[in-house]
Amino acid sequence: WAFADSVLHRLAPLWVGARGLEFTWDYILQGLEANANLVLSISLAALGSLMWLRKNKPKTLIPIIYTCAGIVATMPSITSYLKLSLGWQLPKVVGFELFTSLVMAFISWQLFAACQKPSN
């Protein structure tokens, strides 16, 4: 899913634009944004597996899992809001996406690890 999204949205502009004679930072930022989106997709898949496949998850973690999944699922809307309504430039948006993707990946990893512990 993440690979197909990356290929369809980023390969053609990168292939056409980056082959030109003039260098711009936009292509580097697009690559960083693609990596952030890949990490977010993996986090969403991990949180989805926790929501629907794990039956032995602690009851106290269920609201946290759903909240994190909601945040990750709405990230495209959040970044669109930052770009269009708040007028953030591409480097600032990409920095926000990278930071958010790393934070959500860490939280997803910790939640997944907490659900793997045997309950006594």
Please tell me the total count of domains within the chain: 1
- Whether residue 8 contacts residue 25, with contact meaning beta carbons closer than 8 Å, is answered with no
pLDDT tens sequence across 71-83: 999 998 999 999 9
Give the separation between CA 111 and CA 60, rounded to whole angstroms. Answer: 11
Q: Where are the alpha helices (DSSP H) in 23-89?
A: 26-52, 62-73, 75-84
Q: In terms of residue numbers, what domain contains 93?
A: 1-116
Whether residue 8 is predicted with pLDDT greater than 90 in this model: the reply is no
58: confidence class by pLDDT, cuts 50, 70, 90: confident
pTM: 0.77
